[in-house]
Amino acid sequence: MGGQMTTLTRMQDIDLSGRQVLVRVDYNVPKENGRIRDDTRIRESLPTIQYLLGQGCGIVLMSHFGRPAEYEGNRSDLSLRPVASRLEAIMKDEKLLEPSKHVIFLNNEASYGAANYHMLTPRLARVPYVVMLENTRFNEGEESNDPEFARLLGAYGDVYVNDAFASAHNKHASTLGVPQYFAKERKPVAAGLLMEREVTALQPLLKPKDRSVAVFGGSKAKDKLGVIKTLAGKYDEILVGGGLASTFLKAAGYDIGLSGYEEEFLDVARRLSVTMPVDARIGRGKAREAVYVYDVRFRNGSVDEGLSIFDIGNETVSLYAGIIAGADTVLWNGPMGVFERDEFSLGTQAVGKAVAQANARGAYAAAGGGDTIAALNKYGLSDRMSYISTGGGAMLKFLERDGNLPAIRVLYND
């Protein structure tokens, strides 16, 4: 993988006793009306935090949250303070934090752009302790990977641990600049337990065994065409559904009615060899309120004017399920339609069951992406996959670039 990379540096291989460890986590959790809707990403970081506490470490956590540069509301809505509170509650519930202790949240001028991130006071309680910094994206040096901002962040730790696979495709100060700074200072960098698990679990997808199938859905072609191009030479079959399929169908010359597609990617889609739906379930109106009409078979017809594709049809379900049934390696990213509506959920549910059945037969079946995970949870299939990745976008980039993500590459021993 990547030629020069050999072994992922694990935090378990470093003497961490009593040291202050700067940990990049991904706490970009869904929030609504100021309340956290899903704390899965927080919980996924607990094994790494627990291990470090067991080593008597001081822990300084850093994460981004949302896109402050594009946000038009109150900037405090993007503060990590509620996340720190949820982390504290979870840790106390899991007996990882004593009732009298707290996750110390640093809400200071540095968090909003001033150049004094190095001012973490040493006057904390004796190790172990847990500190959380404010949203790294409150400083514009984060997304530009500003070396000075990386240096100031780096002053928070003796060791750098990246446990944020979901952010590993970002060349930001907290994911790339800090470990590069640590390397220059001869300070250790390592992968956290979640990062290690993700990288290890995705390796079989880079070099699939025997018969391999990749299934891609979702709405955005721009997020998938790169990885499809990379995998086209490795996988026996690439199946497409969802809004992504509309771009391929349009590129192939089919009339897709009012279905959304990405015109700027039609030329790219024409050059890629994929298996497209042979029929679709269509409806009138917007996806959430659409009135179901009928299935249309593309080889003998087209989507009528005023109608849109909202799911793959019955014939496509049978076709795709049959292809997946013969696979030894299966990758799934993206639903086949608007699965939130029962009328348009058949394709996603059928593909999910086919992938689960392939896993039961001994295939390596991996899935990823927020909507894919939501579908797996909806249909009770989450425990029937070989692996579910926590980072949809990062997983796609990892596969597209054959594992060569800069934020992961710096964690390897050459």
Which residues are CB-neighbours of 252 under 8 A, at least 6 positions away? 270, 276
Closest CA to 43 of 29, 53, 24: 29
pLDDT at 124: 54
SS3 at position 257 = coil
* Count of C-beta atoms within a 10 Å radius of residue 356: 24
Residue 307 has φ and ψ, to the nearest 5°, of -115, 160
The pairs formed by 69-77 with CB atoms below 8 angstroms and a separation of 24 or more are 69/137, 69/140, 69/143, 75/138, 77/34
pLDDT at 5: 52
- Higher confidence at residue 226 or residue 73? 226
pLDDT at 414: 67
* Count of C-beta atoms within a 10 Å radius of residue 306: 10
Q: Using DSSP bridges, classify how beta strands 279-284 and 291-297 pair: parallel, antiparallel or unpaired.
A: antiparallel
- Higher confidence at residue 295 or residue 210? 210
SS3 at position 60 = strand
* Mean pLDDT value across residues 196-223: 93
**Is the model's pLDDT at 118 over the cut of 50?**
no
pLDDT at 301: 67
* Mean pLDDT value across residues 360-379: 93
Residues annotated as part of the active site: 41, 220, 370, 393
Closest CA to 325 of 347, 346, 356: 356
Domains and CATH numbers, the chain: 7-198+405-413 (3.40.50.1260), 207-380 (3.40.50.1260)
Check: CB of residue 391 under 8 Å from CB of residue 26.
Answer: yes
**Is the model's pLDDT at 114 over the cut of 60?**
no
pLDDT at 370: 86
Give the confidence band of 75 by pLDDT, cuts at 50, 70, 90.
Answer: confident
Of all residues in the chain, what percent carry a pLDDT higher than 70? Answer: 93
Of all residues in the chain, what percent carry a pLDDT higher than 90? Answer: 72
Distance, CA of 308 to CA of 280 (rounded, Å): 9
Q: In this structure, what token pair is assigned to residue 71?
A: 């946000």
Closest CA to 385 of 413, 363, 400, 407: 363
pLDDT at 73: 73
**What order do you get walking across the sheet with 103-106 strand by strand?**
103-106, 129-133, 58-62, 20-24, 159-162, 189-191
- Higher confidence at residue 70 or residue 22? 22
Could you give the angle at the alpha carbon of 221 between the alpha carbons of 409 and 202, nearest 5°? 35
Query: What is the model's pTM?
Result: 0.88
